[in-house]
Structures are given as C-alpha cells and as structure tokens.
C-alpha cells in the first residue's frame, strides 16, 4: 500500500504504513453520489463519443471514418472531434455487452470515476498524511461529479492520469523500473483518451529531474508514450489526411488567440472556473489559512466586487442590466475568482514550505493545467480544469494535517451539498432535451411532411433517434409545409426569417429553477462562451423550443 510520513510539517520523503485509512471510503462516496444520475440524458458532447463507438463497432481500424453535422453543416468526424478515440473504444465495448441506453453507458463510466477516486487516494498516500481526505476533497467537487455523470473522456483521462502519477512517483522514489514501465503505459492511455494527457510527460520529467538531480534510465520510459503519440499522429494522417494530434493543438491555440480576448478577462474567467469547479478549497479556507490571510482574503474579495462592478461585462456575461449592477452575479464571480486564486496560492506556499520534488510536482500540476485551460485551450471550461482537482485535494490535505480528522472532515459537508446541487442542475438541464424530443415526436410522429431541427448536443441525439434530421445550412432542404424546430439554448443556431417560416407553437421545459450550468449569459459550465462562471445561483429561465412551419420557397 502507498503510504505517507506521519509528521505534519516536514517534507514527505519516505513511505510508511497509513493507519485507519482506506480507499474504500472515497470509492463508496463516489458510487453513492453518482448512482442517482445514471439515467441522465445524453448531454453536450456525449453524442460524439457514442457515434464514434458505433463506428468502431463496425470499422474498428477507421474510428473517425464517418461524417456528422455538428457545426451546422455535414463534415468529416476527423475535422469535428478534438479528442482521441480511447473513450470511443470503451463505449463500443459497453455497447456490445449492455447496449446504448443512458443507464448502461453511465454505469459503465462509474468504473473510470471509481478508478480516479482510488488513484487519487493512492497518490495522496505518498504525498500527505490524510489520503482519504485528499481523495474526498477531490470527489466532492462540482467538476468531478458532473463530469463523472457523463459518458465522455474527461474522468477516464483523469483516472489514467492519477494512477500514472502514483506509479511514477513510487517508481522514482524506490528506483522500481516495473512501476515506471507501468506508469509509462498509463501515460500513453491517458494521452490517447484526451490529448492533454500528454502533458504528463513534461510534468513527470520535471518531477524526476528535481528528485534525482540528473537524467537516468527513467527518462527512457517517458519515451514510450512519446513514441505512441508519434505513431498516432502518423496513423491519423494516413487515414484522414491530417495528423489529429497536431490538428487539435493548432485548433485550440488558433481559436483562442484569434478571438482577441484580453489577458485580464482570460485570467479572471480562468480563476472563476477553477474556484467554482473545486469548491472544497473555499470551504477549507478557515483551516488552510491563518487569520491574517483570511482577513486579506476578505479584503481582496470586497475589492474584487467593487472592481468588477465598474466593468461592462466579464467575458460574455453582462455586469449591468437595464443600468443596474447585477450584484448577485458579481458576488458569485468574485467568490469563485478568490477561490481559484487560493488554490494557486496553495501550490506556491506548499512549494515555498517544502521545496522538494513532491511540492514541485503539485505546483507544476496546478499551474500547468491552469495555464492550458485559461490561455491555450479553445475555451475555458470545467472539463479543461478537471485535472487540477487531485492536486488541489492533496494540497488541502497537506495543509490541514496538523488538525484532528474530526475537524478536517466538516468542510466536506457543504462541499458535497454544492457539488450535488450543481450535478442535479446539470441533470435536469440534460433532461429537458430528451423530454423535448419525446414531446415533439408525439406531436409530429404522423405528420405528413418532414420535421427538421436546429441545434446539437443531446437534443440532436434524441431527435435523430426519432428519425428527424438536423438542418444543413450549406444545403437546406426543407420544403413548403415542413416543420422546423429551433431550441433557444443550444449551439450553432440561426435566426429563422419571417418570410421563410412562421412560428406555430412554443414548447417550454423547466430545468432546475434556482441553479444553472449553461444559461447563455451567466453560467458556462462546458464553455465560457456561454457564461463567465461555471454555474450560477438565481432564477433560471425555461428551455424554449420554437416550432416553425416552412412557407413556400
């Protein structure tokens, strides 16, 4: 079993047995928290992974050899997706055995979620005294629970990431080559699940150099994932005429910097997403920071509120409405910004305190992910800051090790409440698309004309399952008398001209009424293009689906 040094203030150098702790606790908590959401409707990018799995089941060597209408026009899947196919292969295996139902696939993705929780525990056991606390502080976050309730690649990548780090850290400290080899294999799987996993190569190289103070045989193991990624680049270039690894990198960087966002706005939103995604750090503030630091934190929060209040908007989110400052939104934004800043400060202070390889690992882990999510990735999202979570949980556990366990557990209660509330809000939002498709089908199942729709995400999955077709803006085909459905809160929508079609009906469905994850103004859990904070507390408007009757062309 992995272990930690039993002192509260000294740097952790050698493993000892951890008493009265077990990975069973974070595993059980993960299962208990995610089980109620197994029937969650397919949401956001999940259809892309499911469609990839269908392709893999028929042509496993040509995983992206099909076309999809995801941006408003039909395109090759190799040009649409920005993720490697590992999760698609996993879903293909689940589909073959259990089918494609929401419960079957989400139950299958409990395995990566449990693996991520257990991996965080075993990594934390080498880096801090309270491994269970570190793992629970990671699990009971909005980012982990919402991502864990989906059938996408993010939590799977996180599971490979933490286990690779755990085996690499142990292998480096004990000079155990089998551990290093296994870690290298896990890094390969991690990078082929989500491209950001390749950052582990650089992160663990820096850790090993600092630990060993010289290059050794261990560096050869880091070449294994690099070779496989080079092979993947060659394979995809052969199959699709473009290397998908380099293509994803150029897309992320090119998209972000051509948008022309200023540095301050990017940093503000990035900190808000980190703080909002990892709320445990905020609830642990009274234990993590000194009284003086807490006073400074309150002052910074108050100053931030007034500083933001003079802005016109934060990202796409307006600060004022009808001339009045939206204080509720401003306060939420600033609390999340301060929470995100406190996580970065934890990494800095931990390294300043210990100045060893373990603290450097955590520092680079946190800051590297933050820089990528904030300044490099195509958009800031909770999914892009998800890799920070284990490091943040470990940093909190290292900081509170001087307290009794009964004292250190109470902040997990409000953290769990917030995380489950956000998970519920996203669950209800996803459900509106499935319900809308069912209601539309009952209304137009026997309609003599064709039924088209705009919008993508889960709504597209369920509409296509009913036999309806997404409109292609490059080749529009609706004829007189056809029906066109347009959701109000979705991607790549176009306004319907009055001379083209007239609205005959409006369907409104209500998600969670007091907490939103994707509002198209405030909350942008999956992309800051929808909102400057990952979720927003306040009244939530209904999801609207407008039904148009196409006129003569």
By the 8 A CB rule, do 271 and 337 touch? yes
Q: pLDDT confidence of 255, banded at 50, 70, 90?
A: low
By the 8 A CB rule, do 80 and 68 touch? yes
Distance CA 112, CA 102 (A): 16
Q: Compare 313 and 104 and report the one with higher pLDDT.
A: 104
pLDDT for residue 247: 79
Distance CA 476, CA 49 (A): 26
212-222 mean pLDDT = 90
What are the Cα distances from residue 261, in Å, to 140, 255, 383, 526? 32, 11, 20, 18
272 by DSSP, 3-state: which? Answer: helix
Q: pLDDT confidence of 105, banded at 50, 70, 90?
A: very high
By the 8 A CB rule, do 130 and 397 touch? yes
User: pLDDT tens digits for 365-411?
Assistant: 999 999 999 888 888 999 999 999 999 999 999 998 777 666 778 89
pLDDT for residue 323: 76
Q: Where are the domains of the chain?
A: 24-37+109-410, 425-550
Supply the DSSP symbol for 374: I
pLDDT for residue 36: 96
What are the phi and psi torsion angles at 502 (to 5°)?
Answer: -115, 140
pLDDT for residue 131: 93
By the 8 A CB rule, do 525 and 534 touch? yes
Q: Nearest to residue 162, comparing CAs of 208, 114, 224, 128?
A: 114
* 442 pLDDT more than 60: yes
By the 8 A CB rule, do 369 and 100 touch? no
What are the phi and psi torsion angles at 470 (to 5°)?
Answer: -70, 135
- Token pair, residue 314, equals 């934060």
Q: pLDDT confidence of 15, banded at 50, 70, 90?
A: very low
- Token pair, residue 99, equals 């089918």
What are the Cα distances from residue 109, in Å, to 30, 58, 98, 195, 382? 12, 22, 12, 19, 18
Burial of 549 by CB count in 10 Å (0-12 exposed, 13-18 middle, 19+ buried)? middle
Burial of 385 by CB count in 10 Å (0-12 exposed, 13-18 middle, 19+ buried)? buried
Residues in Cβ contact with 272 at an 8 Å cutoff, skipping those fewer than 6 apart: 333, 336, 337, 340, 532, 533, 534
* 24 pLDDT more than 70: yes
- Kindly report the average pLDDT of the chain as a whole number: 89
Distance CA 36, CA 15 (A): 37
By the 8 A CB rule, do 392 and 256 touch? no
pLDDT for residue 10: 37
The H or E element that residue 545 is part of is strand 543-550
Distance CA 74, CA 471 (A): 9
77-106 mean pLDDT = 94
pLDDT for residue 2: 39
Q: pLDDT confidence of 17, banded at 50, 70, 90?
A: very low
pLDDT for residue 14: 38
């Amino acid at each position: 079993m992995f272990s930690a040094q039993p002192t509260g203030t000294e740097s952790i150098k050698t493993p000892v047995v951890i008493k009265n702790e077990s990975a069973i606790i974070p595993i059980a908590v993960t299962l208990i928290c995610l089980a109620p959401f197994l029937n969650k409707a397919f949401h956001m990018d999940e259809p892309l992974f499911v469609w990839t799995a269908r392709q893999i089941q028929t042509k496993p060597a040509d995983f992206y050899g099909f076309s999809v209408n995801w941006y408003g026009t039909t395109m090759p899947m190799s040009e649409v997706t920005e993720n490697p196919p590992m999760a698609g292969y996993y879903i293909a295996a689940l589909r073959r055995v259990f089918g494609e139902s929401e419960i079957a696939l989400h139950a299958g993705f409990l395995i990566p979620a449990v693996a991520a929780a257990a991996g965080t525990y075993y990594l934390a056991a080498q880096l801090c005294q309270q491994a269970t606390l570190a793992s629970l502080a990671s699990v009971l976050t909005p980012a982990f629970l919402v991502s864990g309730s989906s059938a996408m690649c993010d939590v799977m990548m996180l599971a490979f990431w933490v286990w690779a780090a755990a085996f690499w850290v142990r292998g480096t400290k004990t000079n155990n080559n089998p551990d290093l080899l296994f870690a290298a294999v896990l890094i390969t799987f991690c990078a082929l699940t989500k491209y950001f996993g390749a950052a582990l190569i650089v992160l663990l190289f820096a850790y090993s150099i600092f630990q060993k103070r010289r290059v050794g045989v261990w560096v050869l193991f880091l070449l294994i994932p690099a070779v496989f990624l080079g092979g993947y680049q060659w394979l995809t270039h052969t199959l699709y005429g473009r290397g998908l690894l380099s293509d994803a990198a150029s897309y992320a960087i090119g998209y972000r910097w051509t948008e022309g966002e200023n540095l301050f706005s990017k940093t503000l939103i990035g900190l808000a997403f980190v703080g909002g995604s990892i709320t445990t750090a905020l609830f642990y503030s009274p234990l993590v920071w000194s009284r003086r630091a807490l006073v400074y934190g309150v002052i910074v929060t108050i100053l931030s509120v007034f500083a933001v209040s003079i802005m016109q908007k934060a990202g796409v989110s307006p600060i004022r409405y009808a001339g009045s400052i939206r204080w509720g939104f401003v306060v939420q934004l600033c609390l999340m910004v301060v929470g995100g800043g406190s996580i970065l400060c934890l990494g800095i202070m931990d390294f300043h305190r210990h100045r060893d390889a373990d603290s450097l690992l955590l520092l680079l882990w946190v800051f590297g992910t933050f820089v990528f999510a904030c300044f490099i990735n195509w958009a800031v999202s909770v999914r892009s800051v998800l890799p920070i979570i284990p490091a943040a949980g470990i940093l909190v556990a290292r900081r509170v090790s001087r307290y009794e366990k009964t004292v250190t557990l109470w902040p997990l209660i409000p953290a769990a409440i917030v995380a489950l509330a956000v998970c519920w809000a996203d669950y209800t939002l996803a459900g509106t698309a499935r319900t809308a498709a069912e209601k539309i089908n009952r209304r137009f199942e026997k309609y003599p004309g064709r039924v088209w729709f705009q919008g993508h995400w889960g709504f597209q999955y369920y509409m296509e399952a009913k036999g309806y077709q997404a409109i292609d803006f490059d080749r529009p085909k609706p004829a007189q008398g056809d029906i066109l459905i347009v959701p109000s809160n979705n991607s790549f929508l176009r306004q319907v001209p009055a001379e083209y079609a007239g609205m005959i009906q409006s369907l409104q469905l209500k998600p969670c009424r007091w907490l939103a994850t994707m509002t198209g103004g405030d909350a942008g859990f999956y992309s800051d293009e929808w909102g400057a904070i990952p979720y927003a507390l306040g009244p939530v408007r209904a999801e609207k689906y407008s039904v148009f009757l196409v006129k003569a062309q």
